[in-house]
Amino acid sequence: MGGNELTVVEQRYEAVSPADFFYRNRDIAGFSNPVRALYSAVRELVENSLDACEVARTPPDIYITLTEVEKTETGSSIYRIRVEDNGCGVPEEHIPSCFGRVFFGSKYTLKQTRGTFGLGGTMAILYGQITTHKPVRVVSSTDGVNVHAFELMIDIQNNRPIILKKTSTKSRGGWRGTIVEFHLEGEYGRAASRIVEYLRQTAMVNPHANIVFIDPRGRLYLFERATTKVPRPPKEVKPHPHGVDVETMRRMIATTKCDNMLDFIVNHFHRVGKATAKKFLKFAGISPRKNPKKMTPDDIVKLVRAARMFNDFLRPDASCLSPIGAKLLEIGVRKELKLGPDAFLMAHQRKPSAYSGYPFIVEVAIAYGKGVPKREGGFTLYRFANKIPLLYDEASDVSWKVVNKVINWSTYKVTQDMPILIVTHICSTKIPYKTVGKEFVADRPEIEHEIEQAIRYVARHLRLYISRQRRMEREKRRLGVYSKYLPRIARYAAHLAGVPKPPDVEKLLREVARFE
Amino acid sequence: MGGNELTVVEQRYEAVSPADFFYRNRDIAGFSNPVRALYSAVRELVENSLDACEVARTPPDIYITLTEVEKTETGSSIYRIRVEDNGCGVPEEHIPSCFGRVFFGSKYTLKQTRGTFGLGGTMAILYGQITTHKPVRVVSSTDGVNVHAFELMIDIQNNRPIILKKTSTKSRGGWRGTIVEFHLEGEYGRAASRIVEYLRQTAMVNPHANIVFIDPRGRLYLFERATTKVPRPPKEVKPHPHGVDVETMRRMIATTKCDNMLDFIVNHFHRVGKATAKKFLKFAGISPRKNPKKMTPDDIVKLVRAARMFNDFLRPDASCLSPIGAKLLEIGVRKELKLGPDAFLMAHQRKPSAYSGYPFIVEVAIAYGKGVPKREGGFTLYRFANKIPLLYDEASDVSWKVVNKVINWSTYKVTQDMPILIVTHICSTKIPYKTVGKEFVADRPEIEHEIEQAIRYVARHLRLYISRQRRMEREKRRLGVYSKYLPRIARYAAHLAGVPKPPDVEKLLREVARFE
């Protein structure tokens, strides 16, 4: 077959901007339909607000208002969403890009944050724009003195903000924070339960936050803080040598100011001292005096592989993380579930661990008894990652796998029809989400192991509680028999003996009782 | 609290390129670990090859070679992957961007293709680069005359290809197609079964393809074509008015050459004639003579909403789609499962339907009996979308939901312990994947409905087959009794009557048999 017999096929090649990509594929970012989009919009804005308050070290005060503006003809409506926080604010010069540009933000660091992709807030605004063609209004102050207000639209094809209006004023009463307000199409009727559930669970693991939500029906949901103690804020860390790949190493080497490899290793990596660095470079076969700029691509590959194998690095330090803490987790669960005083509740925090160089901590809680929701066909599972609840696609999550596939619950005297709630929380400088919509966490072996061990720990205590409870029931039945017949026997004996007053059986009953 | 008491918090704001974004978040594109990455790399390249052959209208010949180059110290290895096809090739000027730039490609059209995000191939190459720091080699010819070879690397921070080497030669023997070759880290031992299963299922729904795979152990897997009949290739279509949002409408209006709205509607939308366009514009309250350039943002919003409500548009035409066809689907399943001749197998294609203006067709098949794999705790489900198999995250897929949650199988005399295989195939100009890794399809109500109806249709036939089979078994038992005693009775009667030869019972037996 000669080449000239082939017809050349015309294909259209083109590049799309990131904004355009997510505009075309909004399903993957959680904006697939008016119900889901409304949920995702609330969620992304609330998470940005909580992160901003954490940076500012303020107990969060978050006000969410959702107002129906008009009904569309297809069953959905146009809503105005407004979220206000008292967080750190966004600097004037970054406001347009932060809210009008995809892949721009402050979240691209090694630090525990709720947002991870620098995408969600802008996606919500973008969705609002393509359904209503109205601008977003952003008001922000970083210093409590100057307030900057912007009206923006997104040039989707070029991934660029368009500034329609800009004003600057003085802050009243020293207000600091951010207000975001825009219009979007949604369907609150069907999204309501998820949105409220989302806020409820958010309050559960952020007990220092005040969250106020006024829904389109005018109902007010108030999640009041249980404590004003602000958790230790997470810190940014240097990368751990175990998790560094060739590209990161190349970038670090290209920008370092160090002029020898020993300094380079000591200065740019997490928890590597001079002695360890020397030992490591010897192991990697690279001279400590070598100039980083002279590292060839092959040297870099060699260095990265050696870093993964070298066993004498310290494990990642989890002091950069901000877990909830077993105490606060218990307080949160008890408050939100309105648990009865006799119900079993126990939270547990595992020691820090790491996967691919990222530190993480797993916390779990288990509740059983009055107040715990019963769910057909299994336990109720609340999943959290970096203090945000994950509500969708449960069955693909690592926690679901551990609870439903890994652990044999009969070991713990637990059956599927008991009202049991399991809470899992993973915090890390990088949560391995499997979707841009942050619905579920990948089953990295290290994370799976930690969740399993944590649940087994609390489950063992639950078993003790259940055993004790069952023994108490048996005892109660036993005592029931005594307390039913003993007075009769006493009366009969008194009658036989001709004594007018039967002996006191209460004392006797107390003696046979094994439990209070 | 005065504003001046607040400490201003320093936050680092930055923009990242799309390549950098997916580099940082490769979990979401299916490259989370060496096992999964190897699977994803094979998959993305094979899908690009199949698409390229479809464009060229050639029966695909795809050669995949995976060679172990060296073992790393952490259990994984470095492999060289090479995929060759006889597809349409990539034009010389587009080769660098196609393979060295994220969000660049030929897939951003309304057309049924396997690839959808213009991302997978480049992601595989990017993953190879960050694990081995070696370039990719791409060889391609679009005309069977000139062959262009490139050596490329990706500038990840700037999402830009770097051309290391470029040569042009003449094609030998008129070869047309594309060869992609690069190095990557992987773990074939644990990826092997998935990769082979992926190719096997791909062959099942692409019976016109030859796929040859030589694995790192030197084993050869050959999936030979069952037909040389190339399916009708999918066509690109104009958008359907029901599915157009404000942004798309705005772009169409900005670029149109039409000078009145009537022409605009007729020329730019799918299946809208002059009469319908007039009726629609009247319904929308927009003059047919209005110049599109004079449409205000509010006019555009009005137009989009009217388009969603207007009921007289024709449904999307599915002639642009390329389904497998019930016949070919049966051939594929029978061949790959090596089904016994008595096993039940039935495929069914539904009529075209649409969701949000995108046409789609659902096809299903059901197999029962010898050769069908038995699976603990349920049926085996093969999911396909635009002729590619989906292997991961089954439980989040719409087909899984229909099979396991929606349909009550006892209606069809089917129990979970029977060896049953269900195949579902969705083809559409836009598959609503929920992840960039194309693992599972969202449960859009329209799609769910079609899958349910399709499965119910074949399940009703399965029920007839099972009833018939059970009757036949009863009959067999009944005949067993006859055939056991009748000859004895015949012999006894002959003996009694003094006849030397007993009468022929075979004829009698045939008469009482109700089935062949």
Q: Nearest Cα to A248, choosing from A308, A288, A316?
A: A308
B234 falls within a domain = no
Are B456 and B484 members of one domain?
A: no
With CA atoms as reference, the chain A residue closest to B96 would be A13
DSSP state of A402: I
Q: What does the pLDDT read at residue A228?
A: 85
Give the Cβ contact number of residue A294 at 10 Å: 10
CB contact under 8 A, B13 and A132: no
Q: How far apart are CA B103 and CA B18, in angstroms?
A: 7
In a domain, A231, yes or no: no
For residue B6, what pLDDT band results from cuts at 50, 70 and 90?
A: low
Bridge partners for B84 per DSSP: B63, B179
d(CA A362, CA A348): 9
CB contact under 8 A, A301 and B9: no
- Mind spelling out the 3-state secondary structure of A233-274? CCCCCCCCHHHCCHHHHHHHHHHCCCCCHHHHHHHHCCCCCH
Q: Token digits for A260?
A: 């020898």
Is the pLDDT at B190 greater than 50, yes or no? yes
Give CA–CA dist A374/A372, Å, rounded. Answer: 6
The kind and range of the H/E element at B282 are: helix B274-284
Contacts of A297 in chain B (CB under 8 A): 133
The answer to whether residue A404 is domain-embedded is yes
- Identify the helix (H) or strand (E) that includes residue B474: helix B445-497
Looking at the fold, whether B424 and B488 belong to one and the same domain comes out as: no
Q: Is A108 close to B305, i.e. CB distance below 8 A?
A: no
B103:A17 CB<8 A: yes
Residues 313-372 of B with CB under 8 A from A: none
Q: Any long-range contacts for A1-5 (C-beta under 8 Å, 24+ apart)?
A: A1/B144, A1/B173, A1/B174, A2/B144, A2/B174, A3/B141, A3/B143, A3/B144, A3/B145, A3/B171, A3/B174, A3/B175, A3/B176, A4/B143, A4/B144, A4/B145, A4/B174, A5/B144, A5/B174
Distance, in Å, from the CA atom of B310 to the CA atom of B358, rounded to the nearest integer, reads: 16
Please state, rounded to an integer, the average pLDDT across all residues of chain B. Answer: 89
The pLDDT of residue A5 = 57
Residue B15 has its nearest CB partner, among A91, A104, A434, at A104
Per-residue DSSP letter, B173: G
Contact A11 B143 (CB under 8 A): no
Give the distance from residue A284's alpha carbon to the nearest chain B alpha carbon, in angstroms.
12
Same domain as A411, residue A266: no
Q: Is A122 on the interface with B (CB under 8 A)?
A: no
Q: How confident is the model at residue A159 (pLDDT cuts 50, 70, 90)?
A: very high
User: A194-220 pLDDT, tens per residue?
Assistant: 999 999 999 999 989 999 999 999 999
Tokens of A289: 């005096």
**Size of chain A in residues:** 516
Task: Please state, in angstroms and rounded to a whole number, the distance separating the CA atoms of residues B201 and B326.
Answer: 16
Residues B458 and B474 in one domain: no
The answer to whether A27 contacts B442, with C-beta atoms less than 8 Å apart, is yes
Lowest mean pLDDT of A308-312, A371-375, B319-323, B466-470, name the range.
Answer: A371-375
Residue B342 located in a structural domain = yes
Q: For B104, which of A15, A72, A130 is closest by C-beta distance?
A: A15
pLDDT at B516: 46
Please count the residue pairs, one from chain A and one from chain B, whose beta carbons lie less than 8 angstroms apart: 226
Inter-chain CB proximity A174 and B308 less than 8 Å: no
* 3-state DSSP assignment of residue A500: coil
Residue A289: DSSP 8-state: T
B92 to chain A: closest CA residue: A13
In-domain check, residue A408: yes
Q: Which residues of B touch A88 (CB under 8 A)?
A: 9, 11
**CATH code at position A394:** 3.30.230.10
Give the C-alpha separation, A404 to A378, whole Å: 8
What is the SS3 assignment for B351? coil
Q: Is the pLDDT of residue A471 over 80?
A: yes
Determine how β-strand A344-349 pairs with β-strand B61-71.
unpaired
HEC sequence for A175-188: CCEEEEEEEEEECH
The reply to whether A245 touches chain B by the CB within 8 Å rule is yes
Chain B residues closer than 8 Å to A143 by CB: 3-4, 6, 8
Using a CB–CB cutoff of 8 Å, tell me whether B297 touches chain A.
yes
A35 contact residues in B (CB cutoff 8 A): none
CA–CA distance, A244 with A242 (Å, rounded to integer):
6
Element (H, E) at B434: none
How far, in Å, CA of A52 to CA of A87, rounded? 4
Task: Write out the residue range of the structural domain in which residue B303 sits.
Answer: 241-315
Whichever domain contains B262, its CATH number is 1.10.8.50
C-alpha to C-alpha distance for B421 and B401, rounded to whole angstroms = 15
From chain B, pick out residues whose CB is under 8 angstroms from the CB of A118: 16
Residue B228 domain-assigned (yes or no) = no
- Give the pLDDT of residue A6: 66
Q: What is the mean pLDDT of chain A?
A: 89
Q: How far apart are CA A163 and CA A168, in angstroms?
A: 14
- Structural domain ending residue among the three candidates B315, B342, B374: B315
The Cα A424–Cα A376 span in angstroms is 20
pLDDT tens per residue across span B352-388: 888 888 899 999 999 998 888 888 778 999 999 999 9
Nearest CA-CA partner of B51 in B107, B8, B103, B95: B107
- Sort out which chain B residues have CB atoms less than 8 A from A116's CB and list them: 25
Are A428 and A342 found together in one domain? yes
Q: Which of A251-260, A372-381, A402-411 has the lowest mean pLDDT?
A: A372-381
CB B393 within 8 A of CB B439: yes
* Least reliable range by pLDDT among A21-35, A37-51, A151-165, A445-459: A21-35
The C-alpha of A455 sits at a distance from chain B's nearest C-alpha, in angstroms, of 23
B22 CB within 8 Å of a chain A CB: no
From residue A189, give the alpha-carbon distance in Å to each of A39, A76, A129, A388, B448: 11, 9, 22, 23, 22
Among the ranges A231-240, A498-507, B413-422, which has the highest mean pLDDT value? B413-422
Residues B427, B376 share a domain: yes
Interface check B158 vs A, CB under 8 A: no
Sort out which chain A residues have CB atoms less than 8 A from B117's CB and list them: 21, 25
CA distance A176 to A481: 68
- Give Cα A326 to chain centroid, integer Å: 16
Cβ atoms of B397 and B441 within 8 Å: the answer is yes
A207 is a domain residue: yes
Q: Which residue of B has its CA nearest to A2?
A: B174
DSSP B121-142: HHHHHHHHHHHH---EEEEEES
Contacts of B88 in chain A (CB under 8 A): 9, 11
ipTM at complex level: 0.83
More reliable by pLDDT, A483 or B217: B217
d(CA B494, CA B501): 7
pLDDT band at B7 (very low <50, low <70, confident <90, very high): low
Question: Are A127 and A205 in the same domain?
Answer: yes
Do B102 and B50 touch, CB atoms closer than 8 A? no
Å between A9 CA and nearest CA of chain B: 7
Q: Are strands B420-428 and B380-385 parallel, antiparallel or unpaired?
A: parallel
Name the β-bridge partners of A444: none
Tokens of A105: 């933000």
Interface of A with B in 454-493 (CB under 8 A): none
**Best CA proximity match to B5, nearest among A389, A173, A239:** A173
Asked whether residue B500 falls in the same domain as residue B481, the answer is yes
Which site among A54, A178, A183, A245 would you substitute to test the B interface, given the most B Cβ atoms closer than 10 Å to its Cβ? A245
Euclidean distance between CA atoms A413 and A198, whole angstroms = 31
Going by pLDDT thresholds of 50, 70 and 90, the confidence category of residue B161 is very high
From chain A, the residues in CB contact with B23 under 8 A are 247
Domain-ending residue, one of B287, B315, B343 = B315
Are A108 and B437 in contact (CB < 8 Å)?
no
Q: How far is CA A361 from CA A225, A318, A323, A453, B102, in A?
A: 24, 8, 7, 12, 34
Which chain A residues contact residue B3 at CB under 8 A? 141, 143-145, 171, 174-176
Q: How many CB atoms lie within 10 A of CB A269?
A: 22
Picking from A195, A223, A251, the residue at the C-terminal end of a domain is A223
In a domain, A333, yes or no: yes
B32, B94, B251 ranked by CB distance to A13: nearest: B94
Identify the pLDDT of residue B8.
60
Residues B366 and B337 in one domain: yes
Nearest by CB to residue A16, choosing from B14, B33, B103, is B103
The pLDDT score that the predictor gives to residue A494 is 79
Residue of A nearest to B302 (CA): A132
How many domains does chain A contain in total?
Answer: 4
Cβ contacts of A442 on chain B, cutoff 8 Å: 27, 32
Take residue A67 and report the two structure tokens written for it: 């107002």
Q: Could you tell me the CA-to-CA distances from A318 to A111, A238, A359, B474 in Å, in that order?
A: 11, 12, 6, 69
**Subunit contact B13:A94, Cβ cutoff 8 A:** yes
Tell me which of B28, B69, B443, B448 to substitute to probe the interface with A (most A C-beta atoms closer than 10 Å): B28
Which token pair is A241? 């040598």
Give pLDDT, residue B1. Answer: 39
Task: Provide the terminal-to-terminal Cα distance of chain A, rounded to the nearest Å.
Answer: 94
- CB of A172 less than 8 A from some CB of B: no
Q: What is the CATH number of the domain that holds B165?
A: 3.30.565.10
Q: Which residues contact B214 (CB under 8 A, 6 or more apart)?
A: B63, B64, B65, B66, B220, B221
B4 pLDDT above the threshold of 80: no
pLDDT digits (tens, 9 = 90+) for A329-362: 998 888 888 888 888 999 999 998 888 888 999 9
**pLDDT at site B116:** 73
Task: State residue A112's pLDDT score.
Answer: 84
Say if CB A176 and CB B7 are below 8 A apart. no
A108 touches B at CB < 8 Å:
yes
Q: How far is CA B459 from CA B453, B469, B472, in A?
A: 10, 15, 19
β-bridge pairing B388-390 and B380-385 = antiparallel
List the beta bridge partners of residue A420.
Answer: A368
Give yes or no for a contact between A327 and A348, defined as CB atoms under 8 angstroms apart.
Answer: no
**Tens of pLDDT along A7-42?**
666 777 888 898 988 888 888 888 888 899 999 999
Region A440-447: what's the mean pLDDT? 88
d(CA B129, CA B31): 13
What is the rounded CA–CA span in Å between residue B10 and residue B415?
63
Cβ-based neighbours of B207, under 8 Å, separated by 6 or more: B225, B226, B227, B328, B331, B332, B335
Do the chains contact at B24 and A108, CB–CB below 8 Å?
yes
Distances (CA, A) of A1 to A35, B171, B172, B224, B365: 56, 12, 10, 22, 38
Residue A56 has its nearest CB partner, among B9, B108, B437, at B9
What pTM did the predictor assign? 0.85
CB atoms within 10 A of CB B200: 17
Are B68 and B80 within one domain? yes
Q: Are residues A254 and A162 in the same domain?
A: no
Q: What is the pLDDT of residue B377?
A: 72
- Regarding whether B172 and B28 lie in a shared domain, the answer is yes
